[in-house]
Structure 1
């Protein structure tokens, strides 16, 4: 023991030259300078034997990385006054795994706390939101405090020195303020829970759960949960910020689904369902990762959710949805408070937790905005329900009056109807006969080509489907012949369109004269092109008919008054037993290809498709 005491005092005097001077009227020093070293020693003797290399931290704030698992702090203090000074050394971070302080007392060094295998809250000599080490600084002496910190996660280590009375004033002021704010948030939780029990509106339940998660996040961030709720649960102390931040952010999803996003927006509703399920998976999965990895992932995901919420609020603003401005302000506050917290985690900002009221204020405003929006939604729903009831009542009264008037008119009309029913029946029969005649005329017009009076293309499309089905059903050969007047464009160019129309009519009439069977039909396919539909006709028969038409046409000299001319035509034939009734166009397509071959081979000829 004497060896340890001697070693301790040697260390004290070795570093007394750089000690922090504590004046007689000392109140506080928020950024206490110290030095640190990474060393796995379990006591001062091992530390001295390892010849540590101390690195100064003049700012009093050390950012810990995941590699700094065991570090020693050296805090030299000097009291030049004639009085013993009571002090409190504050390490304002309750997420550290283990803190052991070596304090000089009665010419010996003691370990605070005595057991290194207990939880963090049991290691502190004073039960408080921060880690406090009480000191009695002797008069006219130099004192060196050694602190061993074990840490498995990436966090921060702020060191400050206080007079006990000044620290009591400081914490009392903030505890009163934060207690009032926490009480207001908790009151809103209870209000939403009561509204849900009265109205059974699910958005009050989701709003209450969201505000409750916000309350848990704030009491965790400011250390009140560590002091009053779950101080013995180290795992929740380390992962509480990650889990409660995720919970307070993704609980907005069911709230949005029941308030801001209409049920008709199916895609957005489906996307929110996926986000909700993904959030649950992430919340469970992050608890399996180290805290240094889980917290950045949680921040990134919460930022993504906040941006998504803002986009939904902007879309609601564009369609002038109810309370859209409130929700947009709410999510802007959420994004701002997440950015504020992230800045401290990234060491862009620093300071004691109690000196960060912006987080509490923003979350209080978010809770107020949620409660306000839900209250307005309930009032709007109630007013809409009253209006609907009044509208239904007025509609029922109007329907009753209308029903009475209708019964009266119906009785009067019944008498008139009975007196005129015979006359109306006769008129109806006449009208029906006229309609039948008109229908026949329209059907004929619909079937016939207006110029040539043969069947038109529309009727051909129907007939070819019927004949293809018959060919497939009866296994008979169907022949389709495509005919086209040769050099018809020259007729139009040389003699005019009137002579061209007369030529088309003459060709159509000649083709009709060559058809002997009732089942054989000619159709005008378009322009100067005609098509023959020949059921139950082999290729040879179709070819003979086409050759006869072609030969007779080439021998006739037509006299159209202003012009005398002769014409020729080319024909393409396709004959087959239909195998696919769903593809009737194959007959016209292949016959048209054969016609194209006839044109290519010099016109005025008949070609069968092979």
Structure 2
């Protein structure tokens, strides 16, 4: 096992995983230690000796901090003229006064990675808005909040979406869904809520807003969606949506709230589409 002494800052960076590649100049010492000559076709060639682990130290004396760390690979950078030690997991620590800080930092990093993974699992792959599973989990939380009397469900359904897929292709249909998702995300912030892809061309916004303010803002959203066309080589695509709304305060359960908002969509479709209706 090779021992490499580094300065205090680099030692901490290695310990906290900020430095994953340790570089050493190609001195005579390291050339002698790492280069293994072999004869191939009457020519001398060199391979780089691989190491399982390294001892990284800082300071002088017997009580100096040290790390025993996995060495995943040893390589040579022609561009930098350096040997590169690719560092893996820390196997052992000695005399490190920040060992607990390191553990805390590692735990926080793992928790952040876990949260990011969960967030990714809760998002629709195409539109990058939250999916139906996340909506159902959020709804269970929202109905128990102090302001649940303001909780509103808005169902949004793209009008004649099958015709868009049939006439322009599924790639164009996907672009329409992405376009809608971005518009809905913008307005979800205005409505003090969050947007979810419910399925197919259906989206849901769960928001907290007074009924007197809701209709005007949704009509602004509806008009903004309709105003912009999506480019296609055949002809530009016009998109409209039908919306249905319901309030939790007017329902006996969350399921009834969703059903009423869905009925509002059907009412909007029956009344000519490109409308907002209460369920």
| TM > 0.5 | yes
The answer on 1:587 being equivalent to 2:257 is yes
* Residue 122 of structure 2, aligned match among 447, 454, 468: 447
1-side partners of 2:191 and 2:154: how far apart?
17
Could you tell me which residue of structure 2 aligns to residue 498 of structure 1?
171
8 A Cα contact 1:454 1:524, kept in partner: yes
How far is the alpha carbon of 1:434 from its aligned partner? 4.3
2-side partners of 1:491 and 1:540: how far apart?
34
Secondary structure, in 3 states, of the residue corresponding to 1:577? Answer: helix
TM-score between both structures, scaled by the size of structure 1: 0.28
8 A Cα contact 1:457 1:526, kept in partner: yes
Structure 1 residues 518 and 435: CA distance shift in structure 2, 3 A: farther
2-side partners of 1:574 and 1:453: how far apart?
25
Could you tell me which residue of structure 1 aligns to residue 277 of structure 2?
607
Q: Which has the larger radius of gyration?
A: 1
8 A Cα contact 1:499 1:563, kept in partner: no
Q: Deviations over 1:125-174 (max 9, x none)?
A: xxxxxxxxxxxxxxxxxxxxxxxxxxxxxxxxxxxxxxxxxxxxxxxxxx
Q: CA RMSD in A?
A: 2.8
5+ residue gaps, structure 2: 1-90
How far is the alpha carbon of 1:538 from its aligned partner? 2.9
Structural mapping, 1:349-428, within 5 Å = 420=92, 422=94
1-side partners of 2:178 and 2:233: how far apart?
15
2-side partners of 1:421 and 1:578: how far apart?
61
Choose between structure 1 and 2 for higher RCO, CA contacts under 8 A separated by at least 6 residues: 2
5+ residue gaps, structure 1: 1-418
Q: Deviations over 1:488-518 (max 9, x none)?
A: 0111111111111111000111122234447
Could you tell me which residue of structure 2 aligns to residue 596 of structure 1?
266
Q: Deviations over 1:71-96 (max 9, x none)?
A: xxxxxxxxxxxxxxxxxxxxxxxxxx
Secondary structure, in 3 states, of the residue corresponding to 1:602? Answer: coil
2-side partners of 1:475 and 1:494: how far apart?
43
2-side partners of 1:452 and 1:604: how far apart?
22
2-side partners of 1:467 and 1:437: how far apart?
24
Secondary structure, in 3 states, of the residue corresponding to 1:571? Answer: strand
1-side partners of 2:120 and 2:148: how far apart?
33
Secondary structure, in 3 states, of the residue corresponding to 2:143? Answer: helix
The answer on 1:567 being equivalent to 2:239 is yes
8 A Cα contact 2:148 2:248, kept in partner: no
The answer on 1:462 being equivalent to 2:137 is yes
Could you tell me which residue of structure 2 aligns to residue 529 of structure 1?
202
Could you tell me which residue of structure 2 aligns to residue 555 of structure 1?
227
How far is the alpha carbon of 1:562 from its aligned partner? 6.3
Runs of at least 4 residues off by over 4 Å: 421-431, 560-563
1-side partners of 2:238 and 2:134: how far apart?
30
Aligned length: 186
8 A Cα contact 2:231 2:237, kept in partner: yes
Secondary structure, in 3 states, of the residue corresponding to 1:572? Answer: strand
2-side partners of 1:606 and 1:464: how far apart?
22
How far is the alpha carbon of 1:483 from its aligned partner? 0.5
1-side partners of 2:95 and 2:238: how far apart?
62
